[in-house]
Amino acid sequence: MWNSKPVVAVFGSSQVVDGDAEYEEARLLGQLIAQAGFVLCNGGYTGVMEASARGASEAGGAAIGLTLALLSARETANPFVTQEIRNPTLFERMANFVGLADAFVVLRGGVGTLAEFSTIWNLVQTGGLDRKPFIFVGRCWPKIMENLRQNMEIRDKDLKLFLVVSTPHEAIDILKNHLRKKR
């Protein structure tokens, strides 16, 4: 049963496809999450969601897909999801991410990824969510975060609420260090 293991939520682009470098990065991340004994949780559809679930399931791990009822008429969960939890609204889906996850990992993405990481960031900032590992993976993030800091009302202390790393391996090292006591 997965609920005795730490759950790692992964956010990222729905647009990457098998063969893209970002797809392979997400697949590796999913594999490393499963090999570390953690459960992967994501949105359950295409792109990074498919790739990370694929990596987790190929490594013998669990992959929870938090899908949306409003999309069910045109989209189904990817075949690598081992448990689908269908949510009636985006808000309930986000609440499930917050409630299930013991850590959050963010890869490059689009508007959905922006909404997801902004929600988590704001919840941590306001004390609405206890501090949990919150990691951005990839070389794009330092520039994005610096741009946000320069052009929005974001303080240095807000930037200390998460970590930015370059590779999935670095993210897993952090997760192992922070989540090992839950196992």
pLDDT of 99 > 90? The answer is yes
Residue 114 sits in a domain of what CATH number? Answer: 3.40.50.450
Provide the whole-model pTM. 0.95
Q: How confident is the model at residue 115 (pLDDT cuts 50, 70, 90)?
A: very high
How far are the Cα atoms of 83, 153, 155 from residue 62, in angstroms, in the given order?
Answer: 8, 39, 37
pLDDT of 11 > 70? The answer is yes
Maximum C-alpha span of the chain: 45
Look up the domain containing 99 and give its range.
5-182
Q: How far apart are CA 179 and CA 183, in angstroms?
A: 7
- In sequence order, what are the beta bridge partners of 11? 106
Residue range 12-19: mean pLDDT, rounded: 96
At 67 the three-state DSSP class reads: strand
Query: What's the domain count of the chain?
Result: 1
Closest listed residue to residue 93, CA positions, set 55, 49, 133, 125: 49
